Every structure is written in structure tokens, then in C-alpha cells.
A and B are shown apart, each in its own frame.
Chain A
Amino acid sequence: MKNKLLGVLLAGVGAFAAAGIALNRHEPINALWIVTAAVCVYLLGYRFYAAWIAARVLAIDPSRATPAERLNNGRDFIPTHRVIVFGHHFAAIAGPGPLVGPTLAAQFGYLPGMLWILVGAVLGGCVQDMVILLLSTRRDGRSLGQMARDELGPFGGFAALVGTLLIMVILSAVLGLVIVNVMKHSPWATATILGTVPAALIVGLYLRVWRPGRVLEATLLGVALVLLALVAGGWVDHQPGLRPLFDYAAVPLALFIIGYGFCAAILPVWLLLAPRDYLSTFLKLGTVLLLAVAILLTHPQIRMPALTQFVDGSGPLFGGTIFPFVFITIACGAISGFHALIASGTSPKLISSESDVRLVGYGSMALESFVAVMALIAATLLDPGVFFAINSGAGVVGATPEAAVHTISGWGFPVTVEQMRALAAAMGEQTLFARTGGAPSLAVGMASILGSSFGRGLMALWYHFAVMFEAVFIMAVLDAGTRVGRFMLQDLLGHAWRPLGRTSWYPSVLLASALMVGAWGYFLYIGVIDPNGGINILWPLFGISNQMLAGIALSVATGILIKAGRKRYALVTGLPLAWIALVTTTAAWQKVMSPDPRLGLFAAADELAGKLAAGLLPAERAALAPQLIFNQRLDGWVTFILTALLWFVILDMLRVCLRRVRGLPLRAGSEAPYQASRLQGAVAESGA
């Protein structure tokens, strides 16, 4: 009875908030409506849909011993209190994707992005994370690749491995590009971000040499050091003698990031990677909390219209119509294939009872999706004219401020050069024009929310705080991604020549790290020299790769459900899979086949090649053109390979399902046999 009342109440409040959004279509709406509608949707999804999936679809059994209990070794397998596992899992899945994606998708207006973040998370992303978490828990914490191999066949496993490696490369490149665009000609941001490197090294030494393993003390020291770096960056910015030392163009910054990534991959983890991760996790949780409080305190108005004219595909941030590109762009905030790697990695080895899977899997993703909603709010509370001026590449709107404001005002989003100059001055930057990548506009949005809650005079400080926060955890993901990519490459190379597979053999370490960094460094470099900003090509490619991985995870889940004779419920993962397959394939088809050079990669390459041959390009552009042409064709092939991998796995899954229906013999799979739990009421030995 109480549950029903709660449900009715939540549905009522949610419907009221949604109606508030729907009825206010032609005047600015308040962000509080969006926050309220979002929270109600998550709670309803968690309370009803997730509970139903747990009970019926997955037949969760709290009496069944989890691998943490059966294989407890005090190290990676440890039964842990569910709140602690939730914390670890959320910290692991929360990345920069949900901050960047919604910002870019705001070019369609606030409504499409918001709807997909909510619907996609509740029916797709949260379900994927929860189902994979349970399936892996029942298989001794096996990885997605191993489950694909055990349940579908060797091909599924291979596709998951290649897919993971590709997504690591594209993700690292696009994130590198985001930071380069933040640091470009910004001495304050560059000095601060450079300052976080020695801060991480000091924390690493503290944890290794002076006070081994005292994580909280070290984190406190580290946070003090990065805040010092923030203030010191501001001081450098006001010293005419020091300023030029930190004022760089995009290309040298990209080379710096590439060199840094290589060092992070080969240095011992305790020196750079681990301490940076402690800082990043702390900053991430703190900032998300701060942002939520500030949004509630200031309840800003959303200035972006619900829908813009760019739903027709003519948008300046990236080409492509609202379907399928709003889904591809939002990616991680709604469904992230990457999460399936975490849900089948560390987390299942900590789960002390199967009944915790709902909170850890579904709950963490709901919270992650809420972060995406906040990013969307921070992007759409800006004046649309300002938003487009920051996020449009010079190649799209014009290279001079006058040309850019003329183009953007012509779209019906008035903005002036003075307005942009005043904003840049308030944020302590030289210019905010053509700062593509989403991070600068998010930082401006965050600074205006945080500034009006906690000190308006400190706007420039808040802007650079937001920039530093994004950079610190982007670099943590970059380090971790490069390192994992290195291990995967070494594993692959080991099949060719055995010594290359030894993860501690130095020549192999150097070779695999160089290959991995070289691969993402290449895409990063091309993105930097691209006059259209690079993000317009790389982010959709990242979205497609991420959704492809989600498709592989959902295929594995659907295959296992059908094999287990739970055909009736297979649509729970089957429908999101069908949608992902449709969206990803349509997007890939358009990226490869479209004759429109703003959208089609091969069309763009052909157009540029034609102009080059006809001598229509200015000398500077002509010098870059051959590289850009090659890269666009390469991106086209990568898109094709990603989609082919997805379809191979889907067909492999359908083959397994067909064999099940026909009653033919199947792979045994790797589900661990039932063993009764002896943990009374799932009380874990560690935690509180």
C-alpha cells in the first residue's frame, strides 16, 4: 500500500513537472522543472521497473552466494557493503562523457537531449548496467569479452576485444582534443593544468614513500595542491613576464598531451596514475554535489529554445539530423557501452548479495544520467547566441569575431562582439570564440551557476575551477585508457610473438605504449589541425563506437536470457538492443554514404580533394588538405568496421537463439552453480 502511494505521488509530481515543461514552450522555463521531472523519472524507474527486472527477468536470489563470498581472497574478491560498492561503481563509471555529450546535443534545443537522457537511461542504460552486473556476478566476475566468448562463441569475444580497443583509441583522442581546446591560448588554464601534474607526483610520493597507503591524508594534501595550482594559474595570468611562457597554440599543446600520455603509460602506476585518480575522484564527486546544490539554490532559467532549426541537420557543432544524431551525441548520459566493462570487471567481485545489484547497477547509472541532466542545464542556461559563438568552429561561422557574430545572429540567436568580449574578460580569458569541444561552454555555464551562488566576483576563478575539474578527470581517463589499451595490445601481440605478451618486459611495454599513444595521438593531431574544430568528426565517431559496445553488451545479455529459457523477458534487453542497432546503423550509414560533405566522411574527402585539384584552396589550407582527406576516408572505414562488428555479434547472438529455439545443442556457458550464502542477511565483513 505504502509503495503504491509513493508511486502515485512520484508519478503525479513527475507528470506535473513534465507538464510544466510542455506547457511553457514559448517562454524560458526554469531548470527546477527539469530537475524535478528527472528525479521523479529515476525514482519511478528504480522503484518499479528495476524491481520488476530484478524479481522476474533476472530472478535475483539473495540466498545465492556471490563470488565475493565464495572466492573471498581479501583482495579483489571481498564481500562489501552495498553502499560502498555503489560508491566505487559510480566513481568508476562517472566520466567526462556525460558532461560533453549533452552540451553538444544542446544545438538541437534542450528538449531532445533531455528526453533521451531520461528515457534512454531508465529503459536502456540502467538496464544494461544492472543486467551485465548480475550476469557477471553469476559468472565469477567474468569480463564482457569472456562472457561473449563463453556464451556466444569465439567471434563474440574477439569482437568485444577489438571494439574495446577501438573505443579506447577514439575516446582518448576526443578527450585529448577537449583539453587542448580548453588550454589553447589560455595561460591561466594551461598553467593550472600543468600544475596538477607535479601535484599528482607529490601525492604519489606521499603515498609511496612518506605515508604508504594513507589515502585520505594524501587526497586532502592533493586537493590543497590543485587549488593552489588554480590560484597560481590566475597569478601567472597577471604577470606580463610569465604569461607568454604558458600561452600556446593548439598543436604544441596536443604534442604535450601525447607525450604526457606516453609517460603515464610507462611510469609505475603509483607515481602518476593512481594519485591523479584519487584527486580526480574527489574533485568529481565534490563538483557534482556543488553543482547540484547551486542549481537548486539559483534555479536558473533555461534560455535555449526547446527545439532549434538545427534539427534539420544544418547545426554548426556537428552535421546530422536529430535522428539519429541526438542519440549518438548524448551517448554516455543515456546508454554507455563502456559501463558494461566496469559492470563485468571490479564491481561484481565486491557484491555481497545479488539483491545489491539493483542499487549498484541501476542506481549508479541513474545518478550518472542525472549528471548529464545537470550538464545539459549548464549548457542551455547560456544565451543561445553565446552558446553557439563558443561552440562553433571558425570554419563554420567565420574566423573573425565580426564574421562569427554576424553568422550566428543571422540564425536568429543575437550576440554581439562586445557581449563576447565582456564575457571573456569576466572569465579571465582572451577570447571565447570557437572554443569547441563543449568544455569551455560548460565551464562558462558552471561558473555562472556557481558564481551566482557562491560569489559573483569570483567568476574567473570558478571558470578555471570548472576547467581544471574537467581536465583533471579527463587526464585520469586518458592515463587509465592508454594503460588498459597497452595491456590489451600486449595480450594481442603475445599471440604473434610470445615475449611481447609479457606485461613487464620493457621493450614490449615501450612498443605497446607507443602504438597505443600513436594511435590516439594521430586522431588528436588531425582533430587539432582541422579548421572545423575536429570535434564535429571525432565526437560522432566516439558516440558510434560507444553505442556499438552497448550493442555488444546487450546482445550478450539477450543471448544469455534466451539461452536460459527466459524468452518471455528477452525484450527487456532486446528492445534497447534493437533501438541501439537502428540508431548506430543509421548514423554509420549516413556518415559513410551521405553525399552531403557536412555529414558524409567520404563526400567531405572527395569535395576537399576536388577543391585541392582545382587549386581553389588558399596555400595554408592546401598544405593541410592531403592529411585531412586521408583522415576523413580513414574515419569512414573505422565507422564501417565498428558497425560491421556490431552486426556480426548481433547475428551470432541470433544464431545462438535460433539453435535454442530449435533445440540444438548449445555452449554450456559459464554460470557458476548455485551455492547457498552463509552471509546472514548479507552483512559484509568490511565497510560499515
Chain B
Amino acid sequence: MRRAAHGMRTLWGWLRALSGDDAYERYLTRHGRQHPGACPLTRRDFYLEEQRRKWSGVSRCC
């Protein structure tokens, strides 16, 4: 039972990483480590900034 729960959690983690659902949390962790004390972007600003960056280059194909 515990193993099944662990497996589900791992799968959920993969799914979040693959879809980019956890991008903001990763950003916060990193930001806290590298610029302690500095004010991070809000979740919304981070999302908009990421979309702008992602869609200014070739990111989809035939």
C-alpha cells in the first residue's frame, strides 16, 4: 500500500515536471538559494515571462 502510494507520488512528480506545472516552485527554490532576500516574481509574472520566452523561438515543428 505504502509502495503504491509512493509510486503514485513519483508518477505525479514526473507528470508535473513534464507539463511544466511545477516550474514556479522550481524557480522559487532556485531563487531562494541564489538570491536570498531578493523579491521573487509573482506566480503570474513568472508564468507570463516564461510564455514570452518560450514562444519567441522555434518551439513547434511540422
| Chain A residues within 8 Å of B31, by CB | 74
Q: Which one of B10, B21, B47, B54 contacts A688 once the chains associate, using CB atoms below 8 Å? A: B10
Question: Contact: B62 with A207, CB < 8 Å?
Answer: no
Question: Distance (Å) between the CB of B28 and the closest chain A CB?
Answer: 10
Instruction: Give complex CA distance A67, B52 in Å.
Output: 21
Q: For A97, what are the chain B residues with a Cβ–Cβ distance below 8 Å?
A: 61-62
A interface residues, tally (CB under 8 Å): 56
Interface of chain A residues 219 through 266 with chain B (CB within 8 A): 219
B57 touches A345 (CB 8 A): yes
B8 at the interface (CB under 8 A from A): no
**Bound complex: CA of A208 vs CA of B48, how far in Å?**
8
A211 → B minimal CB distance (Å) = 9
Interface residues of A in 65-111 (CB under 8 A from B): 74-76, 78, 81, 83-84, 87-88, 92-97
Q: Which of A268-276, A421-429, A610-618 contacts B (4 or more CB under 8 A)?
A: A268-276
Tell whether, in the assembled complex, residue A338 and residue B20 are in contact, meaning their CB atoms are under 8 Å apart: no
**Cα–Cα distance between A458 and B38 once the two chains are bound (Å):** 57
Query: Is A442 an interface position by the 8 A CB rule?
Result: no
Does any Cβ of A come within 8 Å of B58's Cβ?
A: yes
Secondary structure of the A side of the interface? helix
| 2-58 of chain B: CB within 8 A of chain A | 10, 13-24, 26-27, 30-31, 34, 42-44, 46-48, 50-58
Inter-chain contact A215/B17, CB cutoff 8 Å: no
In the bound assembly, the distance between CA atoms of A686 and B57 in angstroms comes to: 23
Asked if A336 lies at the interface with its beta carbon under 8 angstroms from chain B, I say yes
B59 touches A215 (CB 8 A): no
**CB-defined contacts of A278 to chain B, threshold 8 Å:** 19
Q: Which residues of B contact A39 (CB under 8 A)?
A: none
Q: Given A213-B43, A215-B20, are A74 and B34 neighbors across the interface (CB < 8 Å)?
A: yes
Report yes or no: B43 in contact with A87, Cβ–Cβ below 8 A. no
CA distance A20 to B34 in the complex (A): 60
Closest to B16 in A: A216
Q: A83 contacts which chain B residues (CB < 8 A)?
A: 14
- Given A214-B21, A345-B58, A346-B59, verify A74-B51 contact (CB < 8 Å): no
Instruction: List chain B residues, Cβ under 8 A from A216.
Output: 15-16, 19, 21
Contact A686/B17 with A208-B48, A342-B58, A342-B61 known, Cβ cut-off 8 Å: yes
Q: In the complex, are the beta carbons of B60 and A74 less than 8 A apart? A: no
Whether B55 lies near A483 (C-beta < 8 A) is yes
Q: Residue A345 contacts which of B14, B48, B59 (CB distance < 8 angstroms)?
A: B59
A677 at the interface (CB under 8 A from B): no
Q: A491 vs B36: C-alpha distance in the bound complex, in angstroms?
A: 38
Pick the interface stretch among A375-383, A473-481, A515-523: A473-481
Note all chain A residues with C-beta closer than 8 A to B42: 212
A484 at the interface (CB under 8 A from B): yes
Rounded to whole angstroms, the CA-CA distance of A277 and B34 in the bound complex is 32
> What are 30 A-B contacts defined by CB distance under 8 Å?
A74-B30, A75-B53, A76-B53, A78-B26, A83-B14, A87-B18, A88-B18, A92-B59, A94-B61, A95-B62, A175-B62, A208-B44, A208-B47, A212-B42, A212-B47, A213-B23, A213-B24, A213-B47, A214-B21, A215-B21, A216-B19, A273-B55, A336-B61, A336-B62, A342-B58, A345-B57, A476-B60, A484-B58, A546-B62, A688-B10
- Which residues of A line the B interface, CB within 8 A? 74-76, 78, 81, 83-84, 87-88, 92-97, 143, 164, 171, 175, 207-208, 212-216, 219, 269-270, 273-274, 277-278, 331-332, 336, 338-339, 341-342, 345-346, 476-477, 480-481, 483-484, 487, 503, 542, 546, 685-688
For the complex with contacts A341-B58, A685-B26, A686-B22, 13 further pairs of A-B residues with Cβ separation under 8 Å are A75-B53, A95-B60, A171-B62, A208-B48, A213-B24, A214-B21, A342-B58, A346-B54, A346-B57, A481-B60, A484-B58, A487-B56, A542-B62
